[in-house]
Amino acid sequence: MSKLTLLSDSDEILPLVRRLRDGVAREIPLSTLIEKLASWGARLLASRTCNVPGAAYLSIWLRRENLQRLLEADFGGAVSGMLGVPSAFPEEPMGNSSFIKPVGIVGHWTAGNVDLQAVLSGVCGLLGGNANLIRVPSDQRAHIDPLLACLAEDDSEGGLSSRLAFISFPSDRVDLHEAMARQVDGAMIWGGDEAVRAVRALPFPSWARIAVFGPRYSLALMDALTWSNPATRLRQSFWNEGMKILENSCEIWRTRFEPRTSVSRGSLWSRPTP
């Protein structure tokens, strides 16, 4: 059942959870899972879904080679042996490899400003061998619905959809957040400090494993002359990513350090000429 379910009552979660428990009880070889995800990605570009914002990126992200790299990065090079393909990373002793250890049903609370995050997070849960109960923010339903319709066309046997349940309800429905938390064995929580704290306060089972992907900061060091060189387009990229979408992006700069330089401050931070 590859569709988005709109919840209005907490009892509506139970049938979805039962379906997910049944789905995760059915053994699906990792190689089959990868092929089904890659097939979904290929269909995204071949269908009208390609016009959905982010569909082209998702199609590339679902390619077999990318999924293999994700798995190896998380679980070690031994994963490639399970897939029957060469490793994308240098070989390592088996004793240093990690192994996939599913937890059961993973609940996903995604950020409201990343259109594809519900799908990306759910796929990561799938790759870990889990069933996934994924809350889609209300204003992202229009983006997610077409992607799930495409999945339904490509997954007639239910290999993927039996382990995926996408749900949506208003963010202020604390009762539904609580009902969702009670039914999961783990959680992936995305968002800012306030959102993360609110989800972590929900009544998860004592055994639940929680993974938080909250605010992160990176440091970039750039030579002032290189920055000002039009050929590098660094200033243009900075403006596009950090200024034009200031209110929506989680990749914008928060603090900038300005070293002493012969390049004027105005040329560093002013809008570049097209």
Q: For the segment 50-71, what is each residue's pLDDT rounded down to a tens digit?
A: 678 788 889 999 999 999 888 8
Say yes or no to pLDDT of 189 above 70: yes
At position 79, the amino acid (one-letter code) is V
> How far is it, in rounded angstroms, from Cα 128 to Cα 100?
6
**Range name among 7-21, 108-122, 166-180, 196-210 with the lowest pLDDT average:** 108-122
At position 269, the amino acid (one-letter code) is W
Q: Are residues 35 and 158 in the same domain?
A: yes
pLDDT tens-digit map of 146-180? 999 999 888 888 889 999 999 999 999 999 999 99
pTM over 0.85: no
The CATH number assigned to the domain holding 48 equals 3.40.605.10
Last residue of a domain, one of 213, 234, 259: 213
pLDDT tens-digit map of 219-229? 667 677 776 77
Query: How many domains does the structure of the chain reveal?
Result: 2
Q: Are residues 142 and 252 in the same domain?
A: no
Please provide residue 213's backbone torsions phi and psi, each rounded to the nearest 5 degrees. Answer: -120, 75
Buried b (16+ CB within 10 A) or exposed e, 156-166: eeebbbbbbbb
In a domain, 218, yes or no: no
Q: Are residues 263 and 134 in the same domain?
A: no
**Confidence (pLDDT) at 106:** 98
**Confidence (pLDDT) at 96:** 38
Q: Are residues 46 and 163 in the same domain?
A: yes
Q: Are residues 54 and 27 in the same domain?
A: yes
Residue with tokens 């949506």: 168
Say yes or no to pLDDT of 3 above 90: no
Following DSSP, what letter does each residue of 27-83 receive, concatenated? ---HHHHHHHHHHHHHHHHHSGGGGSTTHHHHHHHTSHHHHHHHHHHHH-THHHHHH
**Confidence (pLDDT) at 258:** 55
Residue 102, number of CB atoms within 10 A of its CB: 15
Q: Are residues 126 and 231 in the same domain?
A: no
> How far is it, in rounded angstroms, from Cα 256 to Cα 40?
41
Q: Which domain holds residue 257?
A: 224-269
HEC profile for 204-219? CCCCCEEEEECCCCCC
Q: Are residues 136 and 241 in the same domain?
A: no
Q: Are residues 167 and 249 in the same domain?
A: no
